[in-house]
Structure 1
Amino acid sequence: MSAEIVQLVEQAGPYLATAVGAYGAAVFSRAESAAVDATANLGQRILQTVWRRCNEQCRAELETAIQDAAEAPEDADAAAAVRQQIKRALREDAELLAELARILPAVGETVTVTASGERSIAARTITTAVTGDHTTIRP
């Protein structure tokens, strides 16, 4: 196994654990939530990215590992099984490794975001933000 895969999965570990803890087995079907912290949302994005690129067998194994980890949040072996499934998917899909590397913050990277004032928002990445009254968003 490449050192790059091991490093990426180690870096993703806390995000994955938080996402599984927050969402459980529904991690693949739920939308990101403003009520859940950024760590869980990033973990969910990682898991959903892997899920979309997996074949049926990979999906079934990942789903089982996540269900086990959600049912036993203190079980280090269950959390390791989720990481092992991610590693397996990364070994089988080189493009997935690059995609996840883009999602994860760089090692040692510190991001400071500040917002102040009425209706201010702050984020590292913003897809859509609406702060005005009576606003309609159309696709």
Structure 2
Amino acid sequence: MSAEIVQFAGQLSPYLTAALGAYGAGVLTRTENAAVDATANVGHRILQAVWRRRDEQGRAGLEAAVQDAAEEPDDEDAAAALRQQVKRALRGDAELLRELTEMLPAAFSAGVTVTASGDRSIAAGGNIGFAVTGDRHTPQS
């Protein structure tokens, strides 16, 4: 399996987790909900796209992985099993990879990852202009 697919499947995790949290194990059969946040709806569309591209055996494996991950949302093994199902679907299916990539927000699909960690840290995915952290600082105009 290519490293690209492994990395891509790992990057889908927040979307899959959000979809399972919002839709539960029925994520494969429910219609999208406008009241659910955008991240969960992207995960919902990802899982449905994978579902549509699988044969009967692949669908059964995906359904079981979704069920397990929905029942045990904090279980890393269940989340890994779901990612494994997505990776299996992506193997040799360049069209599915393209379809899933197009579903992701532009910054995410471009490989931009932003992380803030620690007291008073900030993170920005693009040019935000001026940012200040710390005590008693007055920005100069």
TM-score range (shorter-chain normalised) is 0.7 to 0.9
Contact 2:25 2:67 in 1 (8 A): yes
Contact 2:19 2:39 in 1 (8 A): yes
User: Which position in structure 1 is the counterpart of 2:34?
Assistant: 34
Aligned positions, number? 111
CA RMSD of aligned residues (A): 1.6
User: Which 5+ residue runs of structure 2 have no aligned equivalent?
Assistant: 114-124, 127-141
User: How is 1:1-139 mapped onto 2 (pairs within 5 angstroms)?
Assistant: 1-105=1-105, 106=109, 107-108=111-112, 110=125
Normalization by structure 1: what TM-score?
0.74
After the TM superposition, which parts of structure 1 deviate over 4 Å for at least 4 consecutive aligned residues? none
Structure of larger gyration radius: 2
In 1, Cα distance between the equivalents of 2:7 and 2:75? Answer: 22
How far 1:94 moved relative to its partner? 2.2
- Range with greater deviation from structure 2 (99-108 or 61-70): 99-108
Normalization by structure 2: what TM-score?
0.73
In 2, Cα distance between the equivalents of 1:2 and 1:63? Answer: 24
User: Which 5+ residue runs of structure 1 have no aligned equivalent?
Assistant: 112-139
Instruction: State percent identity of aligned pairs.
Output: 66
Contact 2:25 2:71 in 1 (8 A): no
